[in-house]
Structure 1
Amino acid sequence: MQHFVPAYLLHSRPFSDSQLMLDLLVQGVGHIRLLARVKGRNSVKQKANLQPFSRLTVQYAGNGDIKYLNQYELEGLVSLKNKALYCGFYLNELTARLTPVNEPLDEIYELYHQHLTQLVNDEDYEPILRSFEFQLLEALGVGLDFSFDAHGSELKDDTYYQYQNELGWLSLRGSKRGLSGKQIQQIAQLDFSDKLTRTLAKQLARYLLNPLLGYKKLKSRELFGS
């Protein structure tokens, strides 16, 4: 029998009158989707426990794309308020939308845990979101080459570049539009202390994420009014 394993609940939605469909991020496993039975006298309590940001230990079964929740224990609920809550929803939605189900991407659990904890303890949210975006892209195998341009030349601090999907960094000779090589290195080091670099990193992350997300907009972005 499978042991109980730590998990975070990313998303919960009704599947039937007595079942919930859950998206979980499981330690040592990755993103899984499973059905949970919720009926009887404890159904209200179970639904309250099975909410986003719940820290669980779970035992599940099944060989198909959708697993079945056998048992779970609620270890706690991560408490986020105001803007931190919106940021948390963004982490959840981005993870659930981009991380393939039932693929061995166990490092994403630790990545999510680290950044969710930072949202609880830090009020400067923008660097946390940017860090998560770029590290998630790297974990998914679609991260950037921060060292060389599209022609194989090393990026130079005082040269400006524009990133183009499927090509890479294109030099903008004689122009100061785009990102400088220095700013690109700051992003590579997850250093978002400079306000302009922070703004450019947000634009770059959105450019990289949009093709992966497709035409369906992120609901969490609407909470920010953007």
Structure 2
Amino acid sequence: MSQPTDASARYRQIAADLLKQIAAQEYKDGASLPSESELASRYDVSRGTIRQAFAKLRGDGVIASRQGARRVVVASPRVQSFDELYSFSRWARATGDLPASRTVALELRTATTEECKQLDLEEGSRVYHLTRVRLLGGEPVMIERTAYVEKVGAVLPGIALDSESITDRLDELGVVLHSADHTIDALAATAADARLLGVRPRTPLLRERRRTADPAGMPIEWSDDRWRSDAIAFSVRNTRDVSSLLKRGSPQP
């Protein structure tokens, strides 16, 4: 059978061929596809034609591209449930992933107005602020920017932040992260976010803002976590048993 000569038909044929290989598990979830130059040589076309094929697969949600890296097959997003309060490391291990961290900065500084509000601190109080990139299977999936009240954060310099779980270490010291309030929304990646996650600026991210307290209800940490939206989905379970509206009484029929 003769090969199509029309450029449009050619890139579509290549995209269909790659999709067939992905469906056959020749390239599994999370696997990198060959480079543009490799595929251009294999199919005897220009790199521009390969880029068109990649663009079609990306538009169909089959692959993703990260700055400075090869295109990868999009895996089904991991699901994080809020039924229980887990640390990132414990949740990742429970899902069969290998968690890791890359510390960007740890500093003791004056709390911002928002941090004072969320952590019930006096103006001028200090917090330990930690910025880390969290990884699963070696891939950056989330930026964690967390402010800790000073008396708790003081232990952070003594923790191997890139290999230890802060939550587990605090548990050992008798500091229990007992409950958390979560606010989830979407936003576009800033230039700093994009650099840390290896994505393009303005890529859609999922943001989870979290205030965590001890068993007495005293705030311990306030965090702004930004997740790659292709890497995570959130699961929330509700029940009418705890509905404040029902507790007030429902109108009788």
- Using the size of structure 2 for normalisation, the TM-score is 0.28
Q: Which has the larger radius of gyration?
A: 2
- Using the size of structure 1 for normalisation, the TM-score is 0.31
